[in-house]
Structure formats: C-alpha cells, structure tokens
C-alpha cells in the first residue's frame, strides 16, 4: 500500500511541475516576452525544449519568428541545436550591447526578459525610444 501511495504522490508532483511549466509558457506568450520565452525554453530539458518550441512554432508563427529569427536558416537541424544557436547569439549580445559578462555555460541571466534587456527594434516611435 505504501508503494502505491508513494508512486501516486510522485506522479501528482510531476504533473504539478508540468502545470507550472505550461502556465509559465502561457504567461510569457501572452505578454509576448521574446527574451523570456527564449530563456524559458533554453532552460528546460531536451523533451520540453522540443515540445515548447513546436507549440510556439505552430501556435503563434509571428511570435515564433521573433523568438527564433534565424530558425528558417536551419531547416532540418535538431530543435535543440537551433535553440542553442540562438542562445549563443543572445550571449554575444549580452556581452557587447548590455555589458553583462558571463561564461557561455552559465546560461541566461536570472532577470533576462524584454523589460530588463530591451531591443527597441519594434518600437513605433523613435522619440519614445530616445527617451528611454
């Protein structure tokens, strides 16, 4: 009986973690936080990386192309390699544009998001960007 209870408890805990991951992805997609989505997908295990990448690719094509702008250049490549390639681009940008010097193996900064590291590429008003 205790083995059954233990296995069911572990199963519930695993499903709750899934719910947390799905909820986080939903919130990031709803706010269209491009950098937050990149960080979130990158930090998951391989299966989850592939799953969230595909959900994004089929569910919101426009947002997908903002998150992974060079994905079309990598047709036929593994999803994980496309995600890692984007990470290397972001890492280089962090070091050159935002002066955040980290090692590649450190991953994204904890606060990596559009709010903390703005691109201003899609801003409608150049005057508004200049005031930031």
- Tell me, yes or no, if the pTM score tops 0.85: no
For tokens 């799905």, the residue is 22
State how far the Cα of 131 lies from the Cα of 128, in Å rounded to an integer: 5
**Contact at 8 Å (CB) between 100 and 109?**
yes
Q: Could you read off the pLDDT tens digit of each residue along the chain, which spans 132 residues?
A: 899 999 999 999 999 999 999 999 999 999 999 999 999 999 999 999 999 999 999 999 999 999 999 998 888 889 999 999 999 999 888 888 777 767 777 788 888 888 877 765 544 444 443 343
* Phi, psi of 36, deg, nearest 5: -60, -40
The secondary structure of residue 100, as a DSSP letter, is: -
Structure-block tokens of residue 61: 């094509």
């Amino acid at each position: 009986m205790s083995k059954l209870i233990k296995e069911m408890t572990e199963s519930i805990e695993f499903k709750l973690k899934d719910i947390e991951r799905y909820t986080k992805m939903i919130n990031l997609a709803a706010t269209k936080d491009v950098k937050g989505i990149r960080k979130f997908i990158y930090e998951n295990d391989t299966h989850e990386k592939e799953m969230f990448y595909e959900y994004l690719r089929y569910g919101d094509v426009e947002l997908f192309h903002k998150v992974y702008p060079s994905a079309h250049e990598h047709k036929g490549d593994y999803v994980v390699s496309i995600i890692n390639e984007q990470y290397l681009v972001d890492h280089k940008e962090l070091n050159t544009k935002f002066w955040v010097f980290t090692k590649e193996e450190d991953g994204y900064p904890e606060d990596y998001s559009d709010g903390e590291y703005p691109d201003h590429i899609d801003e409608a008003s150049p005057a508004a960007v200049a005031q930031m």
